[in-house]
């Protein structure tokens, strides 16, 4: 039904990808692999979405990257449709450690790692290398389970992932002393996978 409303299966898949991954950018061949559609169809729909300002593009290292334009007039209502960012969804996210996971990561068992207060993607995921890390986790986790999760994530992404994990008390202390690494992460461009108690909002407040 939603495909009929928006006129194209490829367009709906693109909207799900972009709104489900705010702050992330993808190049064309990566998009075709993720949504499993023909490249010509993807290029056509990207051009349509660019023309109305719903997505934006940037050329980096001879590749054109595309990401959702969060300043688009109807960004928030569209994200409620395609990104699951509704009031009900936000309330549910506080009780579920994987409620905010993008659809492509639903097969990865993030809960198996342990108790997670915060998990974010940054670095090469968001094309912001200021943090020096790609995956950052705060919580009480099982390191063997974390290593397995990262291995599965690397397989899904097709790239090596740099990650850091720390306890909440350690993070709190390092934030208080204005640790450069923590400051860089907080100021970096990022995608939130888990924020169990709106912790990131409190950190940056």
Q: Do 107 and 150 fall within a single domain?
A: yes
Q: Do 55 and 112 fall within a single domain?
A: no
Q: Do 107 and 177 fall within a single domain?
A: yes
- The answer as to whether 142 is a domain residue is yes
Q: Do 111 and 141 fall within a single domain?
A: yes
* Domain finish residue from 77, 110, 143: 77
**Residue ranges making up the domain that contains 52:** 2-77
Buried-state track 156-195, b at ≥16 Cβ within 10 A, e below 16: ebeeebebebbeeeebeeeeeeeeeebebbeebbbbbbbb
- The answer as to whether 85 is a domain residue is no
Q: Do 101 and 71 fall within a single domain?
A: no
Q: How confident is the model at residue 95 (pLDDT cuts 50, 70, 90)?
A: very low
SS3 58: strand
- The answer as to whether 26 is a domain residue is yes
Q: Do 24 and 72 fall within a single domain?
A: yes
Q: Do 96 and 65 fall within a single domain?
A: no
Q: Do 151 and 96 fall within a single domain?
A: yes
- The pLDDT mean for the chain works out to 83
- Decide if pLDDT at 72 tops 60: yes
pLDDT tens, position by position, 159-204: 899 999 999 999 989 989 999 999 999 899 998 888 887 767 655 5
Q: Do 140 and 182 fall within a single domain?
A: yes
Range list of H helices, the chain: 2-6, 9-20, 28-35, 39-51, 75-82, 87-93, 143-157, 168-176, 180-187, 199-204
- Decide if pLDDT at 69 tops 90: yes
- The answer as to whether 84 is a domain residue is no
- The answer as to whether 86 is a domain residue is no
- As for how many domains the chain has, the answer is 2
pLDDT tens, position by position, 140-158: 999 999 999 899 889 888 8
Q: Do 138 and 190 fall within a single domain?
A: yes
Q: Do 162 and 188 fall within a single domain?
A: yes
Residue 12 is part of a domain; what is its CATH number? 1.10.10.10
Q: Do 120 and 171 fall within a single domain?
A: yes
């Amino acid at each position: 039904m939603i495909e009929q409303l928006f006129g194209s299966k490829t367009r709906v898949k693109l909207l799900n990808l972009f709104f489900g991954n705010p702050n992330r950018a993808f190049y064309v061949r990566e998009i075709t692999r993720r949504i499993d559609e023909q490249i010509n169809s993807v290029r056509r729909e990207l051009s349509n979405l660019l023309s109305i300002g719903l997505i934006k593009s940037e050329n980096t290292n001879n590749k054109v990257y595309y990401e959702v334009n969060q300043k688009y007039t109807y960004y928030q209502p569209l994200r409620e449709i395609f990104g699951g960012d509704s009031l009900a969804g936000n309330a549910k996210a506080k009780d579920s450690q994987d409620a905010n996971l993008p659809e492509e990561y639903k097969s990865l068992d993030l809960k198996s790692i342990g108790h997670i207060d915060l998990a974010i993607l940054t670095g090469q995921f968001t094309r912001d290398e200021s943090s020096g890390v790609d995956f950052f986790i705060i919580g009480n986790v099982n390191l063997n389970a974390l290593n397995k999760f990262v291995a599965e994530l690397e397989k899904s992404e097709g790239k090596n992932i740099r990650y850091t994990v720390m306890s909440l008390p350690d993070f709190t202390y390092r934030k208080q002393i204005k640790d450069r690494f923590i400051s860089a992460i907080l100021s970096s461009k990022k995608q939130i996978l888990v924020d169990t108690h709106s912790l990131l909002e409190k950190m940056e407040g």
